[in-house]
Amino acid sequence: MPTSHTILTLKNAALDGIGELPLAPGDTNAYARWLNRNYEHAVRAALRSNPWNFAIELHQLNRSLTEPAFRWRYYHDLPPGWLRVLPFTRDGSGLGEPIKHAVIGNQIASSYDGDHFVTLVMDRQDPGTWDQLFADYVAAKLANGMAHRFTAKSSFVQLTENAMANAMATAAEINAFEGSPEPIEQYDIIRVRAGYDPSWR
């Protein structure tokens, strides 16, 4: 479910976490400058931390015109705005046959010559496109950063750390329930029992 947040209201939610007054449009005080510097980084780090449903896209990659110098046979180009490649398998599913690969820059290198179906976590900077629980987590994450920077009070640091951990746990739990779980690398034994040869590439 999308939020009603804007970037400004999200930043003010973070300020609420350390008991500071909200920003108005155009404010340039120390809090505004810190938030302007750290907002995009905090969001991208939060997005990479978990396969959030609202940020997931399914892509079929195009083969690059360039080729790796060694080890791999092909490059496939990742789309603009990607942040994380989820388990890369032959059919794109979590329990599919894994394809040996490496993420190099904005490309996937592999020696597999079939179609490359990938599930990607994409960059989502607009809070209006987020799940509300993820917004709560980002606000808590920003509040924790400001607590370290501005308050110099261990009580505020601990309070915001607890809020961040609780928000992450709640958001990740709900996110996991809104889809069928797909085991990844730790479930290789399941593939072996099903007849999958781990040396396949």
Say how many CA atoms lie within 13 Å of 173 toward its Cβ. Answer: 6
Residue 165 C-alpha from the chain's centroid:
16
pLDDT at 56 over 60: yes
Give the residue among 49, 22, 43, 23 at the shortest CA–CA distance from 140: 43
Which tens digit of pLDDT belongs to each residue from 105-152?
999 999 998 899 999 999 999 999 999 999 999 999 999 999 988 987
pLDDT value for 1: 58
pLDDT bracket for residue 188 (50, 70, 90)? very low
Phi and psi of 11, rounded to 5°?
Answer: -60, -40
pLDDT bracket for residue 182 (50, 70, 90)? low
Residue 101 CA to residue 54 CA, distance in Å, equals 26
Contact 20, 141 (CB under 8 A): no
Which tens digit of pLDDT belongs to each residue from 14-34?
999 999 999 999 999 999 999
Backbone angle region of 58, left / alpha / beta, with phi > 0 → left and psi within -120 to 50 → alpha: beta
pTM: 0.83
